Structure 1
Amino acid sequence: MKKGKIFALVGACLQLGPLFGILVSILAMIGGVIHMSDFDNLGGVSESSLEFSMVVALYAPLLGLLGNMIGYICLLFALFVSRYRAPWFFWFMTIYSALILLLAPVGTVLGIVVLVYIIPRKEEFYGRRSHLSAA
């Protein structure tokens, strides 16, 4: 497997980091509410278990965003340095870059840079197929 493909696949998978971070955060908050509901039954809340739930609820989205940033660096490395070209990668980067345009200012700049780079080079991503259909 080529290095660029590995970076592209890892980067694409890591884009799910914020989703998992929010999911873990919600589960931790539910756990904290359950511990608080035990207050009446046990005569008091275990502060350490409630504190652990809050720490997990706060750090999980942060770690998800960190994974997301590392994944985006992998995607950019696959695109610009390794020059990985595949049809799925073209569409993934096009759609993802269009979505991050809304994340001003950094996402807007990165989204525009990638779109300006990738759209005129669409033929590179479909290069083998266009040569076969021309013959």
Structure 2
Amino acid sequence: MSDIVKTDYIYQDGMYKRYKVVGISLPVENDKLQDIHNENTRQSICKDKHFKALNKSNELYTLIYKNEEGNLYHGKEQGPEKLIIYEECGSNNPVLFLMSINDFISSKQEYMSAKNSEYVDIVCVVMILLLFLVVPIYLLFTI
């Protein structure tokens, strides 16, 4: 099912709000989380190896761990299924959010790759500029 949700893709909900998927966190037992933390500490790579994500449905934060390969993990007691870690596009709020994969799939639709999103934004700006420059010039010469 995680093949359905892709990292670095933009998704859109029914209200046309857009969200960028940052990662997919796998549920593991607490001793596995402790092993990840211990390995990160041993290698002195603790910086950016764990972070909090907010679950909007219950307003609770969940601690997400990242191993040396960049995979994300959370404790099974926080959720027995994969969790989607995402951020709101266009928001000045630096908070990361999470949602179960089933809830995410049922409430969001794939919009486009994040890389394509930047391209589309540039194309839209160029089209608007052309519209405001070319149309007045055309009207000036046809009247």
Q: TM-score range by the shorter chain?
A: under 0.3
Q: More helix by proportion, 1 or 2?
A: 1
Q: More strand by proportion, 1 or 2?
A: 2
Per the normalisation by structure 2, the TM-score is 0.25
